[in-house]
Amino acid sequence: MKKYFKITLMTVFLMGGLFACKDSFLDTPPQAALAGETLASSRNGVDATLIAAYKSLLGWTGNWSNSSWAPSPSHWIFDVASDEYHKGSEPGDGDIFLQIELFEWSPDNGEFRSKWIAGYEGIVRANSAIRTAKAYAAYDPNEQAYADQVVAEATFLRGYFHFDLYKVFKKIPYYVETDVDFKKANIAPSEVLANVISDFDAAIPKLPETRAQVGRIDKMVATAFRGKAKLYAGDYSGALADFNTVINSGRYELNYDFHANFQVATDNSKESILQVQASVNDGAPDGDNAIFGDRLALPHGSSPYGCCGFKNATYDLAYAFRTDADGLPKSNDGVDLARIVAGADTQLDPRIDWTMGRTGVPYLDWGLHQDGWIRGQGYQGWYSPKKNAHGKGDASLAGSWAGAQLSNLNYNLMRYADLLLMAAECEVQVGSLEKAREYVNMIRERAGHTAQGASSISVPADSPEITWAKYKVGKYTTPWNNKAAALEAVKLERHLELAMEGHRLYDLQRWGDLEKVLIPYIAREKKLVNIMNSSATPSAKHYAFPIPTSEIDRSNGALKQNDGY
């Protein structure tokens, strides 16, 4: 299924430094580049520019050794500031990430610049694909329809990359294919979103009804993301219209098994709206086509991965999976957190053991999770990341220095459960509380189907072989008639369903809930994680990360810093 990406992405490497970036990446002439007229005289040349733009979904900027971890599509470096996971590892390792976790957000932090560069690299590539496709249509008018589709895909990707940067920095410059000034000023967040939506609007009419290959964009994918952009812009009715278009298309449905969203065998499943396509053992050096940016976020030590022990789930997140007698979520407000050990009487939502590794609980098909897999021995908790870890039966990278840490497991940029919960949020906002309850109950019903097993990775949630947990997840059976309560239920379900997938911090920011949620979280968590006593207090300035100082300097003052930095 991954042939399109697995084989043709090699074209990018064969093209040398066509898309290489230096310090002034937007206006630096490409090194060893093929001439524009050569690219624009054949489909292969146009395809190469489009493939290069898709490649940027990985966060790749030409060479992983010159990059950092921030460009990863999972956003784990930024979401470490949420209540879902810690930096992990051990004291003194990855302190640049710890600064983000502790709300010490300096404009000189190199991770911010790496994300900025990777995002604008994708935009450069998307604009290059647009220009090349238009030139090709002028060269051969018979290829106009094909060129129009390429322009549409690249226009969507341009909007996507700007949207991705918006979530991190909020006020950013917006670049299109006709720009010649590469020191543009950043614009207001509302203007960024308006431009993103405009790009999606322009792309949708010329996109195919169904994607040409897996991993590519079609009308429905673009419509889903346009709905998300409208949601961020506060246009709940407009967002809901787009989400309903996707829902009513019948194209997508929830996988019966929650874990099917996170295993190689079911990549690009019926629940997948858009995934970053990953591959290994394909000739690319050092795992350049794998989800390289997440290779630190795996169990350490005696684990089958060997490295690197980052991204440890919080005690607070584990407690969020507790359920009451009806199987509904219990509040963490005012509780004293503790480690939930295997075999405890605590009743749990089974998604806890799909989301994090707990000692004494099977970890995919690798056997029981052990304390020795936790680096720093409890320095930042005792739970390992699990959702995007690959199983024993999945293909991993052979003969690389990264070894077992890299695989061909795709990464979800949007799945249907995410869209249903965004639709539920919009339904609450427009007053359709019962429709919102319906969507949330669909998510919760699926959550109760399966659990991590020992005889196989997935077993029925009530399987007698499960001795390490008591699972129960129920649905909301009482009608929703209070808007505020309904909205809180939807927000909590996003927290549980999408935990550790890179959405949480941005959700808290767009809801205006950052201080309300994170200040009490820090107060609870610091009783068990001492380093949290050093955390700054989340405040108004933390609704956006700082613009990298280096980029402000390079812009000759055109870029303005976000407030508070």
The more confidently predicted of residues 212 and 165 is: 165
pLDDT attached to residue 470: 98
Contact indicator for 347, 330 with CB cutoff of 8 Å? no
Q: Answer whether residue 410 shows pLDDT above 80.
A: yes
Q: What is the pLDDT of residue 36?
A: 59
Q: For residues 68 and 293, give the distance between their C-alpha atoms in angstroms, rounded to a whole number.
A: 7
Indicate the pLDDT class of residue 285, thresholds 50, 70 and 90: confident
- Give the model's pLDDT for residue 5: 37
Q: How far is CA 488 from CA 226, 230, 242, 491, in A?
A: 24, 20, 23, 5
Vertex 356, ends 352 and 361: CA angle to 5°?
80
Q: What pLDDT score does 398 carry?
A: 62
User: What average pLDDT does this structure show over 285-293?
Assistant: 82
**In the predicted structure, residue 490 carries a pLDDT above the cut 90:** yes
CA distances 258 to 79, 278, 460, 559, Å, are: 22, 20, 11, 43
- Are 38 and 131 contacting, i.e. CB atoms less than 8 angstroms apart? no
Least confident of 11-15, 205-209, 482-486, 493-497: 11-15
369-400 pLDDT, tens per residue?
999 999 999 899 999 999 999 998 786 766 55
**Range with the poorest average pLDDT among 23-32, 73-82, 141-150, 270-279:** 23-32
DSSP-H helix ranges across 298-400: 315-320, 352-355
Residue 194 · residue 230 · CB < 8 Å: no
Instruction: Give the 3-state secondary structure of residue 465.
Output: coil
Exposure string of 215-248, with b = 16+ CB inside 10 Å and e = fewer, is bbbbbbbbbbbbbbbbbbbebbebbbebbeebbe
Residue 10: the pLDDT is: 37
Q: What is the structure's pLDDT at 109?
A: 96
Residues of the chain with pLDDT > 70, as a percent, come to: 91
| pTM as predicted | 0.93
Q: What is the pLDDT of residue 394?
A: 80
CA distance 554 to 560: 12
Report the half-sphere exposure of 320 (CA within 13 A, side-chain side). 27
pLDDT, position 276: 96
pLDDT for the residue numbered 40? 74
Mean pLDDT value of segment 549-555: 95
| Confidence (pLDDT) at 331 | 96
Say if residue 560's pLDDT is above 60.
yes
pLDDT for the residue 402: 58
Q: Can you list the positions of beta strands (E) in 217-315?
A: 272-276, 310-313
For the chain, domains (ranges, CATH) are 7-97+105-250+546-554 (1.25.40.390)
What pLDDT score was predicted for residue 308? 94
Rounded Cα gap, residues 501 and 91, in angstroms: 25
* Residue with the larger pLDDT of the pair 407 and 455: 455
CB atoms inside a 10 Å sphere around CB 435: 17
User: What ranges make up the beta strands (E) of 199-351?
Assistant: 272-276, 310-313, 347-348
Task: Note the pLDDT of residue 400.
Answer: 53
CA–CA separation, 446 and 417 (whole Å): 10
* pLDDT score of 4 more than 70: no
Q: Is 81 within 8 Å of 168 (Cβ atoms)?
A: no
**Per-residue pLDDT at 68:** 78
Q: Average pLDDT, stretch 466-474?
A: 98
6 and 410 Cβ atoms separated by less than 8 Å: no
pLDDT band at 43 (very low <50, low <70, confident <90, very high): very high
443 in Cβ contact with 258 (< 8 Å): no
Stretch 508-533: mean pLDDT, rounded?
98
Predicted confidence at residue 63, as pLDDT, reads 64
Stated length of the chain: 565
Query: Has residue 100 got a pLDDT over 50?
Result: yes
Contact predicate 14/286, CB 8 Å: no
pLDDT at residue 421 greater than cutoff 80? yes
pLDDT bracket for residue 292 (50, 70, 90): confident
Give the pLDDT mean for 523-546.
98
Give the tens place of pLDDT for each residue, 213-258. Answer: 999 999 999 999 999 999 999 999 999 999 999 999 999 999 999 9
> What pLDDT is attached to residue 35?
52
Would you state the pLDDT for residue 29? 38
**Tokens in use for 417?**
């459960």
Phi, psi of 363 (to 5 degrees): -115, 100
Q: Which residues contact 250 (CB under 8 A, 6 or more apart)?
A: none
Average pLDDT of span 513-540: 98
The pLDDT of residue 315 is: 98
Instruction: Write out the E strands in 207-295.
Output: 272-276
| DSSP letter (8 states) at residue 532 | G
pLDDT at position 130: 97
Helices (H) and strands (E) in the chain, counts: 19, 10
Rounded to whole angstroms, how far apart are CA atoms 493 and 488? 9
Contact 290, 495 (CB under 8 A): no
Q: What is the mean pLDDT of residues 317-334?
A: 97
pLDDT at 14: 32
Q: Are 238 and 197 in contact (CB under 8 A)?
A: no
Q: Binning pLDDT at 50, 70 and 90, where does residue 282 land?
A: confident
- DSSP H helical segments within 170-218, as ranges? 189-203
Cis previous bond, 308, omega within 30? yes
Condensed to tens digits (0 to 9), the pLDDT of residues 114-165 reads 999 999 999 999 999 999 999 999 999 999 999 999 999 999 999 999 999 9
Give, to the nearest 10 degrees, the angle between helix 144-169 and helix 189-203: 160
List Cα–Cα distances, 530 to 91, 379, 382, 525, in angstroms. 11, 8, 14, 8
